Amino acid sequence: METNYLSTRDHVRLAYVDSGGSGEPILALHGAFGRGRAWMTLAGHLGPDWRVIGLDQRGHGLSDEPGDYGREAYLADTADAIEVLGIGPAILVGHSLGAINAFQLATRRPDLVRAFVAVDFPAEAGDYTNRWLDDFPERFPTLRALRAAIGEHIAGFGSLDHFQENAFEDERGWGFHWRPDTIHALKKGVIGDWWEDWTGSDQPALLVRGGASPVVPLDHAKEMAERRPGTELVTIDGAGHDLYLTHDREFGDAVSGFLSRIAVSV
């Protein structure tokens, strides 16, 4: 699939892929370690009625690495992407890092967000630092070795497919389109109490959590739905944090149902 590029107001170049078509646009935001093209699986489930645009957020994929990975930088990028692409007010679908970006932008720039889907991220975020990154090699001799190294650290939590979307090969071997210091910085940036941002908007919203994911406990998810009117909650049984890939059919059905309901109500 062809990669396209846009430039933000701060001259940060962001890569994206576009499923195309004349359907209503959805801007899809990946999580830490992820990449925009992984959302084309969702595009396949939604069909031609929806145009899915998967953004490589700063520090990931083929997008720039500008050095600032704080909250305001990610929100500015998302707002600029919506405006440059001319798709506002947009429907946002965000996983983890992308989820907090989506619900914060819905509160801070409601003119740009029509509705959002937040995938497996809480309103109160703890320290998700991956300490194993401190000693993680820059290159591996084979793709199999790279997958084995990642698999050792994400067993029971994440999906290899989520990570492998960012893998590449060059003359030095196999590596990733992200840097450990980038991941540390962005994860430090999401730590905090974000209830004000979560409850500060009134657009239709869908909160999706993995039944086996430790990131959003069921009681916390129920509280998120109860405290924010217009929020639907879906739990995908047996799914972990990267449920948008591991349980793509169930996830696609949940998103498709939500979109069909807001298409009628808006």
| pLDDT for residue 263 | 80
Main-chain phi, psi angles of 142, to 5 degrees: -145, 160
* Burial profile 59-74: b = 16 or more Cβ within 10 angstroms, e = fewer: bbbbbbebebbebebb
Range 248-251, long-range pairs (CB < 8 A, 24+ positions): 248/41, 248/42, 248/45, 249/45, 251/42, 251/45, 251/119, 251/208
Ramachandran assignment for 238, one of left (phi > 0), alpha (psi -120 to 50 degrees), beta (any other): left
The residue ranges of the chain whose pLDDT is under 50 are: 265-266
Domain ranges of the chain: 4-127+179-265
Residue 106 contacts residue 196 (beta carbons within 8 Å): no
pLDDT per position as a tens digit, 183-229: 999 999 999 999 999 999 999 999 999 999 999 999 999 999 999 99
* Phi and psi, residue 95, nearest 5°: -110, 125
* Whole-structure pTM value: 0.96
Domain 4-127+179-265 has CATH 3.40.50.720: no
Task: Render pLDDT for 87-112 as a digit per residue (tens, 0 to 9).
Answer: 999 999 999 999 999 999 999 999 99
**Residue 266 confidence (pLDDT):** 45
CA gap 149, 128 in Å, rounded: 19
| CA–CA dist 70, 64 (Å, integer) | 15
> Quick count: other Cβ atoms within 10 Å of Cβ 39?
28
pLDDT of residue 264: 55
Long-range contacts of 217-226 (CB under 8 A, 24+ apart): 220/122, 220/123, 220/124, 221/122, 223/123, 224/122, 224/123, 224/198
